[in-house]
Structure 1
């Protein structure tokens, strides 16, 4: 048996599954694609998370697109974080190209151009379905972690939430939370101190500064109503294809705290909402986080800990998280160790540090007699990658340098008219894009403060009247008392005065 035949057997034996799977492409041996040596990923283990990594321009986004399309075709919804703004074309079929046909001929797969059901979403004022959450839904623990406050300040935040719960004050947006925080050290200081303990003005000031920092990154647009229902992420269309939900994030690249806030809230809500799935054979939802370093670079230790916990737990709900980044080292080791599928595009070795990183990356892959992994990592072409997944029993599949199939949809953005048509047809925009500013903590506390001020003003007015009345009464009483005193009467009588003046005259 030739080396090529052995390799063919190596790939096909390790990629034979009983359940459903997606085909990524065909294996590469000694620089040549081995037709029909198909590299596959079983759906059963796709909730074990994954990584798509590689240098700029090596094809990471197209790999993400290929996986998303194949999942949608299997009826599995997908959520994509579109940082660069180049994924909306999934809503239109590929125009095709001779090079695509040539690639697929080498792989041994027919190429079918196809469009997919797409929902465009937004965290900001960009067009799309607005994704929001209320401060109450976010909760004191997540809010404390995203604000990166001290233990004492976290305790104050918990007290604020408790006070609002006890007094039926809805915390919908950051305006509400700031109002309660100010009230706690102002007009309501005595009331809150009696029930929950004294709150330090310096601590509330520090929390307010953290909130202002969050607002400057656009979080005031994220917090509010109507809250997004995560069940709307797992829709399928009339043809049984899973919706590909694309969140447009092109305008928040320089606002990592907002991105982290959103991601943490979304993951926590999904974990709380979705039921335990067990060993179902296919995932419920797959999420792709492009430019994943934006989450981790600016995250505090508390926030990283929260993300790591959710990554470990959320797969039991049938949710798979896929991180897309330039270098695997962008993802914390605690998260990296949880990943099942690894798609590693080419890495570039320009410095000693780069070469060291490549050696470390190579050690994360299974050993194979067919490749020098560290060497292959620097010689892969565009649209080629090293792939290692987990089989249906949770074991690593054979490591394979793979020529990846081309996306079935357009590898470009939608035109303005195409985007408008897509948004006009969206059912979710009608559900979530109406701005609602119902009566909440801000308005209720304003009324309470106003009422207290009116009561105080009336009390002060009453006291002033009583004081004036008492003063007038005392003056009148003194005058009456003086007039009735017989001694005073004699001393002030005309006879007494004349006689006194007469004596004085004689003396003088």
Structure 2
């Protein structure tokens, strides 16, 4: 990193301008020093922290723009709707124009290549994953299961694998769960006890997940992670923005979904070693939700993914209010740090300030803990990794202004961006191919083909046997075959409709 006061901060090769500061170590009063993130060290992860209103979103956007300009793809979750503005040119707000002048750069509005995604398919292309891809550990986390219930779920996944049952959506998982429960005595000797109470608890949690809209997430076509790592025709990295304002109403679904994406990147991408820039940078906003009440096994898995994913060319940047939200084992791996203001009103707040200060390499020019409590809007303490990979001395920095719009966009602007996307035909139409649900339904069909509608199918099956005979060797005429097929279909339909009406009565109309 160059510290020359007369350097041009625009377009420094291999670096992203973070901001500038005036009074730093080894300089006279009024000297300006620019602070950069080195792209080759962008996969060493990072942290953006600070209280609400301190400027975390702007810092996130500045880094996202810098990575995109360098050809690195970006993923971020738009929790408040503010980051959608990356798709539109900045509007030269007076505060940003003045900030640009204060740090000695020209304010130049710009827009970035953006693809919108949405678990619910309302504000972006639908994002789906299959139940099998999610796996028992993350599904257990999503359903908030205890150890015993998680053990039962592991049995369900194991049986599904052994019997070739595809678990694609929630109806597949329900069917497989019911299959294991109905044959518990058969599986008990191999896998252990399968308590009906645990099965019932899992089914109830699945119902809760469905009412929260979680069923929208499971299914096909599942997201292809490679579609996140793209460039536009100008060579800039695509910024993938997940609309998360509605998703945040179900915090556990939000955190589990982002963790699934991170694990998919880890499992899918090849080892690439150290690159001149990351292939993808993943911003994890509201990071405290990832670690809240997480079991030890999950925390260990997160730590392992964060530690090893850098060799896949992926940088992970956690965004949160309080550095204490991130476990020490993960915090120690975050080399690039931007710390906005924290307010020390309570003992926990004071502890957070001290903890944040202690993570920086000290600057003899000021007290780090005191500075954290007195940072203004747009200011931050910045410590990036130097060219040799060692943390730089912390500086008090005025963050550079973003080039794109900061704030929401109109529905018409969002629609224009989505129309220009090449993913509409790939992800917006659901696919429901034969999977565990259909397979298990097929196994329930009796030898005479009459089952499938539950008790109604059984009754009609008896009638069909009486009418058309079921003895071996008896041939049916084409008319009789057609009539029997029609009655079977009617039986299945009637059984299903009656069962749904009974269920609606019990659950107060929740089931649809």
CA distance in 2 between partners of 1:298 and 1:420 (Å): 38
Tell me if the contact between 1:26 and 1:35 (Cα under 8 Å) persists in the aligned partners: no
Task: Give distance in 1, aligned partners of 2:212 and 2:6.
Answer: 49
TM-aligned CA deviation for residue 91 of structure 1: 0.7
1:26 is matched with which residue: 20, 23, 32? 20
Q: Are 1:291 and 2:265 counterparts?
A: no
Deviation for aligned residue 1:182: 0.8
- In the alignment, the residues of structure 2 paired with residue 121 and residue 221 of structure 1 have an alpha-carbon distance, to the nearest angstrom, of 13
- Distance verdict in 2 for CA 1:170–1:385, change over 3 Å: same
Q: 1:194 to 1:247 in 2, by over 3 A?
A: same
The alpha-carbon deviation at position 153 of structure 1 amounts to: 3.9
| Alignment correspondent of 1:121 | 117
Classify 1:10/1:367 alpha carbon distance in 2 versus 1 (closer, same or farther; 3 Å).
farther
Alignment of 1:265 with 2:265, yes or no, is no
Say if 2:81 is the partner of 1:81.
no
Q: What residue ranges of structure 2 are gaps of 5+ in the alignment?
A: 452-457, 467-512
Equivalent runs, 1:51-66 vs 2, <5 Å: 51-66=47-62
Does residue 403 (structure 1) correspond to residue 398 (structure 2)? The answer is yes
Taking a change above 3 Å as real, the CA distance of residues 352 and 162 of structure 1, as seen in their structure-2 partners, is: closer
- Verify the 8 A CA contact 2:230 2:238 in the aligned structure 1: yes
Between the aligned partners of 1:293 and 1:82, the Cα distance in structure 2 is: 16
User: What does 1:488-499 align with in structure 2 at a 5 Å threshold?
Assistant: none
Paired position in structure 1 for 2:247: 252
Change in 2 beyond 3 A, CA 1:455/1:407: closer
**1:130-209 alignment to 2 at 5 Å?**
130-186=126-182, 188-189=183-184, 192=187, 199-209=194-204
Whether 2:318 is the aligned partner of 1:326: answer: no
Alignment CA distance shift 1:452-1:142 (3 Å): farther
* Corresponding residue for residue 494 of structure 1: none
SS at match of 2:316: strand
Structure 1 unaligned spans of 5+: 1-7, 466-508
Asked whether the 8 Å contact 2:20–2:35 carries over to 1, the reply is yes
Q: Deviations over 1:271-323 (max 9, x none)?
A: 11101121112111101122222222253333333222211221121111111
Q: CA deviation at 1:195?
A: 7.0
Residue aligning to 1:386: 381
Q: Please name the residue that 1:423 is paired with.
A: 418
Q: How many residues are aligned here?
A: 452
In structure 1, what is the equivalent of residue 107 of structure 2?
111
Partner of 1:493: none
User: Does residue 214 in structure 1 map to residue 209 in structure 2?
Assistant: yes
Distance 1:10 1:329, change over 3 A: farther
Q: Does the 8 Å CA contact 1:257/1:298 hold for their aligned counterparts?
A: no
Q: In structure 2, how many angstroms separate the alpha carbons of the residues matched to 1:84 and 1:257?
A: 17
Q: Residue 421 and residue 284 in structure 1: after superposition, are their counterparts in 2 closer, same or farther (change >3 A)?
A: same
- Of the three residues 423, 430, 449, the one matched with 2:444 is 449
| Aligned equivalents of 2:315, 2:51: Cα separation in 1 | 23
Instruction: Deviation per CA, 1:373-410: give whole Å up to 9, x if none.
Output: 11111221111100011123220112110011100001
Structure 2 residue matching 1:386: 3-state secondary structure: strand
Answer yes or no: is the 8 Å Cα contact 2:113–2:232 preserved in 1.
yes
Counterpart of 2:164 in 1: which secondary structure? coil
Q: Deviations over 1:234-288 (max 9, x none)?
A: 1000000000110000012231111122122111111111011211121111011
Q: Is the 8 A contact 1:27 1:33 kept in 2?
A: no
Counterpart among 417, 426, 439 of residue 434 in structure 2: 439
Task: Assess, with a 3 A threshold, how the Cα gap between structure 1 residues 441 and 36 changes in structure 2: closer, same or farther.
Answer: same
Deviation track 1:476-506 (CA, whole Å, cap 9, x = no partner) reads xxxxxxxxxxxxxxxxxxxxxxxxxxxxxxx
Determine the structure 2 residue equivalent to 1:44: 40
SS at match of 1:78: strand
Counterpart of 2:503 in structure 1 is none
Does the residue aligned with 1:133 lie in a helix, a strand or coil?
coil
TM-score between both structures, scaled by the size of structure 2? 0.81
TM-score normalised according to structure 1 size: 0.82
Shift of 1:150: 4.8
- Structure 1 residues 34, 178: closer, same or farther in 2, change over 3 A? farther
1:432 and 1:50 map into 2 onto residues whose CA distance is 31
